[in-house]
């Protein structure tokens, strides 16, 4: 038995040896080709192996950019360290020593050699830059002896002692975990004692004294002395980086950002270069373009005679990078040349760190720069014009969410700065849903809803946190603010889903729900008073701030980008518009047609409603005809306006859809009036009211949304839609004669069986033809088609397409009827819970449920086109503006999506993204 165990253990050990010893844990910056070969040529995988910082340093080295020699210990080593119970994997340390030797050869210096010491920094770097990771330790390799050696070498004891005290301090705080305060306090005390204000007043002797003091702090906190052995410093620092990967801060961040734990972090060991060797030295950071506006102009700052983070620490006032053209013209020239090369190489705006040591430039980091949405758009367009990237790349770089943020109302920077200056900054929280909003605060959903709906106030709903019961208040509000919770809290999820600006977790706010007030930053705000929230930055202000509405016409780069998007997309984007002014706006936003004009809105206008009511109530056909004749000119001019606005583009007009009672007075209110009149003995007008009440009662339906509406109403009362069709074609003929290109498409709503269409459509076509003849117009491009919004229509689409010349998916009703949910009830009651519990992945009224509703759509397209190959297919539900749903419409072969005018730009971008991701798919004529 013993024997077998022994063999098993031995073979296990051999496998372990096999796996690990042969493994390369350490890559010199000059070994990027090896890393690429190991990762099969994938640069993304190389970044995974070496981390973003390490891969960038190696890549710059390969490109001939001056990078101090160094090497990277891989993320795999980090994972092996963690898995092996906090032990360096077999062979790793030997590889570190070997790599260190190569660095010594490259620099001509020796680690730990007082005669010419090599110093290094130890820098963490995961694949994605990530807060919570260990800070960098500079000047590793300094000890009492090497420090003395460097003094001899440089003749600059102040510089050496300053560097040494930085090492002891960083080592103490970063590697050994001692708080910063004892170090900072000691320095403050010392300067006060000496009467110094600035660090620059410290002399060589002063810094030497600080080295001693800092060493004593380590001894006091840790019970051991600062390690003098350079290799010990290096190994402890490396271990500390690996440890920080599993630190609480890093883990919390990864959970929130959905980054897996097994990515690991790399460690970069980099030869020190010194920006603090005098006024021919310095250090700085820069963006290759402006990260807020995208302007093609280097933006950065630097400091002479400084090291590492001095620039960002804000201890001294920095100079703009362009000043280097005066102070160090040669270095400046080289710097501009290198950064231009880096941009060309990565085809991306870069964010770089650099140091100048005695007139020689060294690059210490390069990475893709973070930027605002506006900057993203401008940089993408500029880079196409500069020949760096293709239009396709530019279009795919800009995300629909960024565009969304860009097109929301916002507080402009000047407004926010002024508010902050005036002390109006109230709180800061998590930026949970973009957009800016000002409003009066209310602390519960019912009051918020009441104030918004009945009192027409702009409302900001404020709660410690929200629950499903609160959704109606959130939907009625202009914005939502909570003091608790994070980016995935209920409030944040709901707000994002419904596009309500939202700030959550503004924890400095004390909300008193009893007293109906809240306090923050020393300011108390009572219920009903104004605040402003910025969902893009998470800032909260007291009072009303002016919002700015973005003006698309002035955003020339965005317009360029959207035109490119159109040339890539297969799907067209149309808009839902009921009025000419909406249609004109939609057209300006790039809509190529009207996908839905709801005619019922036209009936609600005060001048028309009484005529509509008279028409509905008429018992005598002559009275009804008279009312319809009165309505006809109104409708005709409505349509003429739309056709005019959309000259050259198709306009889909939906015939009357809602149940008739929507045009009648409220039954309960009328009943109250009648009762009051009876009680008070008033007779004047009572009889009319009683008749009206009886008529409304007779029209009562227990489930009107599934009752007499849509095509059913047209069959029940064809005169109304016949009038509508006459109005459409009269207007079309009139506009045609004016030289406008009119393409009317008449849409019949709520078809469930082809028999309905067979009944109504020929009557309407007859009227159309009759009008053309009357008007003497012999050529007009028109279509008759139907909405597909009842599951039965989707299932029998093959039959329906024999009659209908186009389909338009009404996905709001189709979703309601496929799920059997009433949307209002679902959103008010259980939908959020369903999403939270994972029963539904997303709100199906926002994003098409591909597996269910989507399957019906797919079936309808396929079966419809089998019968009528050139069947035009679109979507006019709210999903038409949702990027995920647009992608789906692309996949099933829609011709267009139609959405609200404001969503048109986002839809155009989403349509292009879908084409880039999935190819052109079924190519339809445009």
Interaction between residue 363 and ligand ADP (CB under 6 A) = no
808 is a site residue for Mg ion (CB under 5 A): no
Q: Alpha helices of 533-656 — where are they, by DSSP H?
A: 556-568, 580-588, 600-603, 609-617, 621-645
User: Of the listed 78, 408, 490, 661, which one is catalytic?
Assistant: 490
From ligand ADP, Mg ion, none, which one binds at residue 760 (CB under 5 to 8 Å depending on kind)? none
3-class SS of residue 925: coil
Give yes or no for a contact between 146 and 112, defined as CB atoms under 8 angstroms apart. Answer: yes
- Of 154 and 822, which has the nearer Cβ to ligand ADP? 154
Among 56, 68, 538, 874, binds ligand ADP (CB under 6 A): 68
Helix (H), strand (E), coil (C) string for 435-491: CEEEEEEECCHHHHHHHHHCCCCCEEEEECCCCHHHHHHHHHCCEEEECCCCCCCHH
- CA 83, 87, 91 angle in degrees (round to 5)? 105
Q: Has 597 been annotated as catalytic?
A: no
* Count of beta carbons in the 10 Å neighbourhood of residue 12: 10
* Cβ–Cβ < 8 Å for 563, 569: no
Site for ligand ADP in 19-58 (CB under 6 A): none
Residues 776-805 that bind Mg ion (CB under 5 A): 789
Nearer to ligand ADP, 54 or 791 (CB): 54
**Near ligand ADP in 378-417, by CB under 6 A:** none
Instruction: Give the C-alpha separation, 762 to 627, whole Å.
Output: 24
Of the residues 74, 79, 95, 136, which one makes contact with ligand ADP according to CB under 6 A: 136
* Beta-bridge mates of residue 746: 653, 784
Least distance in angstroms from the C-beta of 134 to Mg ion: 13
Dmax of the chain from CA atoms?
Answer: 115
Q: Which of 80, 234, 304, 364 binds ligand ADP (CB under 6 A)?
A: 364
Residue 557 corresponds to which tokens in the numbers above?
A: 């780069």
* Binding flag, residue 121, ligand ADP (CB under 6 A): yes
Nearer to ligand ADP, 56 or 881 (CB): 56
Say which entry of Mg ion, ligand ADP, none residue 428 contacts (CB below 5 to 8 A, set by partner kind): none
273 binds ligand ADP (CB under 6 A): yes
- The yes-or-no answer on residue 490 being catalytic is yes
Gap between the terminal Cα atoms of the chain? 78
CB of 815 to Mg ion, least distance (A): 10
Among ligand ADP, Mg ion, none, what binds residue 357 when CB lies within 5 to 8 Å by partner kind?
Answer: none
CA torsion, ordered 585, 589, 590, 595, to nearest 10 deg: -50
CB 381 within 8 A of CB 349: no
Q: Which residues lie across from 117 on neighbouring strands?
A: 110
Nearer to Mg ion, 76 or 813 (CB): 813
Query: What values do phi and psi take at 138, rounded to 5?
Result: -100, 160
Output the CA angle 874-878-882, nearest 5 degrees. Answer: 85
Asked if 563 and 910 touch (Cβ cutoff 8 Å), the reply is: no
Contact between 309 and ligand ADP (CB under 6 A)? yes
Using DSSP's 3-state secondary structure scheme, residue 110 falls into strand
Residues of this chain, 333-362, that bind ligand ADP according to CB under 6 A: 353, 355
Q: State the nearest-atom distance from the C-beta of 133 to ligand ADP, in Å.
A: 8
Among ligand ADP, Mg ion, none, residue 281 binds (CB under 5-8 Å by kind): none
Q: How many Cα atoms are found within 13 Å in the side-chain-facing hemisphere of 84?
A: 16
Using the minimum distance from each CB to ligand ADP, give the nearer residue, 122 or 388.
122
Q: Which residue in 122, 502, 733, 876 is the catalytic one?
A: 876
DSSP code per residue over 255-304: HHHT--GGG-EEEEEEE---S-SSTT-EEEEEESS-TTT--SS-EEEEEE
Q: Which stretch binds Mg ion (CB under 5 A): 86-94, 362-370, 680-688, 725-733?
A: 362-370
Of 211-219, 266-274, 497-505, 918-926, the window that binds ligand ADP (rule: CB under 6 A) is 266-274
Stretch that binds ligand ADP, among 265-273, 447-455, 678-686, 905-913 (CB under 6 A): 265-273
The smaller minimum CB distance to ligand ADP, of residues 222 and 358, is found at 358
Under the binding rule (CB under 6 A), the answer on residue 290 touching ligand ADP is: no
Residue with smaller CB distance to ligand ADP, 364 or 460: 364
Element (H, E) at 523: strand 523-526
Residues 558-577 contacting ligand ADP, CB under 6 A: none
Spatial neighbors of 689 by CB under 8 A, at least 6 apart, are 670, 673, 674, 677
Buried b (16+ CB within 10 A) or exposed e, 78-96: bbbbbeeeeebbbbbbebb
Q: Could you tell me which stretch among 264-272, 416-424, 565-573, 707-715 binds ligand ADP (CB under 6 A)?
A: 264-272
In this complex, which beta carbon is closest to ligand ADP, that of residue 301 or of residue 557?
A: 301
Sign, CA torsion 432/437/442/448: negative
Which member of 26, 58, 270, 596 binds ligand ADP (CB under 6 A)? 270
Residues 530, 905: Cα–Cα separation, whole Å: 32
Beta bridge partners of 268: 72, 123
* Near ligand ADP by CB under 6 A: residue from 272, 416, 427, 627: 272
Region of 20-28, 188-196, 809-817, 835-843 interacting with Mg ion (CB under 5 A): 809-817
**Window 810-849: residues binding Mg ion (CB under 5 A):** 810, 813
Which partner, ligand ADP, Mg ion, none, binds residue 810 by CB below 5 to 8 Å per kind?
Answer: Mg ion
Stretch that binds ligand ADP, among 268-276, 500-508, 577-585, 707-715 (CB under 6 A): 268-276
Answer whether 749's CB lies under 8 Å from 787's CB.
yes
Q: Is 330 helix (H, G, I), strand (E, B) or coil?
A: helix
**Which residue is at the shortest CB distance from Mg ion?**
813
From 365, 466, 483, 576, residue interacting with Mg ion (rule: CB under 5 A): 365
Given Mg ion, ligand ADP, none, residue 907, with its beta carbon under 5 to 8 Å by kind, binds none
Binding at 518: pick from Mg ion, ligand ADP, none (beta carbon under 5-8 Å per type): none
Please report whether residue 244 would count as binding ligand ADP according to CB under 6 A: no
> Which segment (267-275, 616-624, 813-821, 822-830) binds ligand ADP by CB under 6 A?
267-275
Closer residue to ligand ADP in complex, CB, 137/768: 137
**SS3 of 196, please?**
coil
Closer by beta carbon to ligand ADP, 308 or else 538: 308
Q: Which residues touch 88 (CB under 8 Å, ≥6 apart)?
A: 77, 81, 235, 238, 239
User: Residues 73, 262: contact at Cβ < 8 Å?
Assistant: no
Spatial strand order in the sheet of 510-512? 510-512, 517-520, 523-526
Phi/psi for 631 (5° steps) reads -75, -30
Residues that contact ligand ADP, how many (by CB under 6 A):
15
CB of 186 to Mg ion, least distance (A): 27
Question: What is the C-alpha R_g of the chain?
Answer: 36
Q: Considering only residues 163, 173, 238, 365, which one is a binding residue for ligand ADP as defined by CB under 6 A?
A: 365
- Answer yes or no: are the C-beta atoms of 430 and 493 closer than 8 Å: no
Size of the site for Mg ion (CB under 5 A): 4
Structure tokens belonging to residue 307: 């090291």
Q: Give me the least distance between CB of 205 and Mg ion, in Å please.
A: 32
What angle (nearest 5°) sits at the alpha carbon of residue 45, between those of residues 42 and 46? Answer: 90
Rounded least distance, CB 813 to Mg ion, Å: 4
Cβ 46 to ligand ADP, closest distance in Å?
19
> Which three-class secondary structure state does DSSP give residue 585?
helix
Residues near Mg ion, by CB under 5 A: 365, 789, 810, 813
Residues tagged active-site: 490, 876
Residues near ligand ADP, by CB under 6 A: 68, 121, 123, 136, 138, 270-273, 308-309, 353, 355, 364-365
């Amino acid at each position: 038995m013993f024997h077998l165990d022994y063999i098993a253990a031995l073979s296990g050990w051999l496998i372990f040896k096999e796996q690990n010893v042969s493994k390369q844990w350490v890559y010199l910056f000059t070994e990027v080709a090896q890393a690429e070969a190991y990762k099969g040529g994938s640069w993304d995988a190389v970044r995974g192996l070496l981390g973003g910082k390490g891969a960038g340093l190696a890549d710059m080295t390969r490109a001939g950019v001056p990078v101090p020699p160094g090497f990277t210990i891989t993320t795999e080593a980090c994972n092996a360290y963690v898995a092996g119970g906090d032990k360096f994997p077999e062979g790793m340390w030997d590889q570190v020593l070997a790599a260190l030797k190569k660095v010594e050869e490259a620099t001509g210096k020796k680690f730990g050699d007082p005669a010419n010491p090599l110093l290094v920094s130890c820098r963490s770097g995961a694949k994605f830059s990530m807060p919570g990771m260990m800070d960098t330790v500079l000047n590793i390799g300094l000890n009492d002896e090497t420090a003395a050696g460097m003094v001899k070498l440089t003749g600059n004891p102040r510089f050496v002692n300053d560097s040494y005290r930085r090492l002891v301090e960083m080592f103490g705080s970063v590697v050994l975990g001692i708080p910063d305060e004892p170090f900072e306090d000691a320095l403050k005390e010392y300067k006060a004692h000496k009467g110094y204000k600035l660090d620059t007043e410290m002399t060589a002797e002063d810094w030497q004294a600080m080295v001693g003091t800092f060493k004593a702090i380590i001894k006091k906190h840790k019970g051991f002395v600062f390690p003098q052995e350079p290799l010990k410093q290096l190994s402890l620092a490396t271990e500390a980086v690996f440890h920080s990967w599993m630190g609480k801060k890093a883990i919390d961040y990864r959970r929130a950002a959905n980054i897996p734990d097994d990515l690991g972090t790399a460690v970069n060991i980099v030869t020190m270069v010194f920006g603090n060797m005098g006024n021919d030295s310095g250090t700085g950071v820069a963006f290759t373009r402006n990260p807020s506006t995208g302007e093609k102009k280097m933006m950065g700052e630097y400091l002479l005679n400084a090291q590492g983070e001095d620039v960002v620490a804000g201890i001294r006032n920095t100079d703009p990078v362009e000043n280097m053209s005066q102070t160090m013209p040669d270095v400046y020239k080289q710097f501009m040349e290198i950064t231009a090369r880096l941009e060309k190489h990565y085809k991306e705006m870069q964010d770089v760190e650099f140091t100048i040591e005695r007139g020689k430039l060294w690059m210490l980091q390069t990475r893709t720069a973070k930027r605002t949405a506006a900057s993203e758009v401008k940089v993408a367009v500029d880079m196409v014009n500069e020949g760096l990237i293709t239009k396709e790349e530019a279009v795919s770089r800009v995300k629909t969410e960024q565009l969304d943020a860009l097109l929301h109302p916002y507080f402009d920077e000047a407004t926010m700065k002024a508010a902050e200056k005036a002390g109006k900054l109230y709180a800061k929280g998590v930026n949970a849903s973009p957009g800016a909003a000002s409003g009066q605060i209310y602390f519960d959903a019912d009051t918020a809803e009441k104030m918004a709906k009945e009192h027409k106030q702009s409302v900001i709903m404020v709660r410690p946190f929200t629950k499903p019961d609160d959704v109606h208040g959130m939907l009625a509000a202009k914005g939502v603010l909570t003091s608790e919770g994070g980016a995935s809290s209920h409030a944040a999820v709901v707000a994002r889903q419904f596009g309500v600006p939202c700030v959550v977790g503004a924890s400095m706010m004390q909300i008193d729900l009893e007293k109906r007030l809240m306090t923050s930053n020393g300011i108390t705000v009572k219920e009903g008073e104004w605040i402003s929230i910025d969902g893009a930055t998470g800032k909260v202000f007291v009072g009303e701030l002016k919002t700015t509405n973005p003006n698309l016409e002035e955003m020339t780069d965005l317009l360029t980008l959207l035109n490119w998007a159109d040339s890539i997309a297969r799907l067209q984007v149309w808009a839902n518009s009921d009025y000419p002014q909406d249609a004109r706006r939609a057209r300006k936003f790039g809509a190529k047609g009207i996908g839905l004009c709801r005619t019922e809105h036209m009936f609600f206008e005060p001048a028309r409603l009484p005529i509509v009511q008279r028409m509905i109530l008429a018992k005598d056909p002559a009275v009804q005809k008279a009312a319809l004749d009165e309505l006809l000119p109104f409708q005709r001019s409505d349509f003429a306006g739309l056709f005019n606005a959309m000259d050259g583009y198709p306009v889909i007009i939906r015939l009357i859809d809602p149940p008739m009672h929507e045009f009648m007075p409220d039954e309960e209110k009328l009943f109250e009036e009648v009762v009051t009149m009876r009680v008070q003995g008033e007779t004047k007008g009572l009889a009319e009211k009683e008749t009206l009440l009886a008529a409304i009662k007779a029209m009562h339906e227990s489930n009107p949304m599934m009752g007499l509406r849509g095509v059913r109403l047209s069959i029940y009362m064809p005169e109304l839609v016949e009038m509508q069709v006459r109005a459409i074609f009269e207007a079309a003929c009139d506009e045609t004669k004016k030289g406008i290109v009119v393409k009317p498409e008449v849409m019949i709503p709520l078809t469930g069986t082809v028999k309905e269409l067979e009944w109504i459509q020929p009557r309407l076509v007859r009227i159309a033809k009759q009008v053309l003849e009357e008007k003497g117009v012999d050529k007009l491009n028109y279509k008759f088609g139907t909405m597909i919004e009842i599951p039965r229509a989707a299932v029998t689409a093959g039959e329906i397409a024999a009659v209908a010349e186009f389909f338009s998916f009404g996905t709001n009703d189709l979703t309601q009827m496929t799920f059997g949910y009433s949307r209002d009830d679902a959103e008010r009651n259980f939908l959020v819970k369903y999403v939270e519990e994972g029963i539904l992945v997303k709100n199906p009224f926002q994003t098409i449920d591909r597996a269910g509703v989507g399957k019906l759509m797919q079936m309808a397209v396929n079966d419809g086109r089998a019968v009528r190959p050139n069947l035009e297919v679109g979507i006019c539900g709210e999903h038409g503006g949702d990027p995920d749903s647009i992608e789906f419409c692309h996949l099933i072969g829609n011709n267009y999506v139609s959405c609200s005018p404001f969503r048109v730009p986002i839809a155009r971008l989403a349509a292009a993204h879908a084409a880039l991701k999935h190819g052109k798919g079924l190519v339809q004529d445009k």
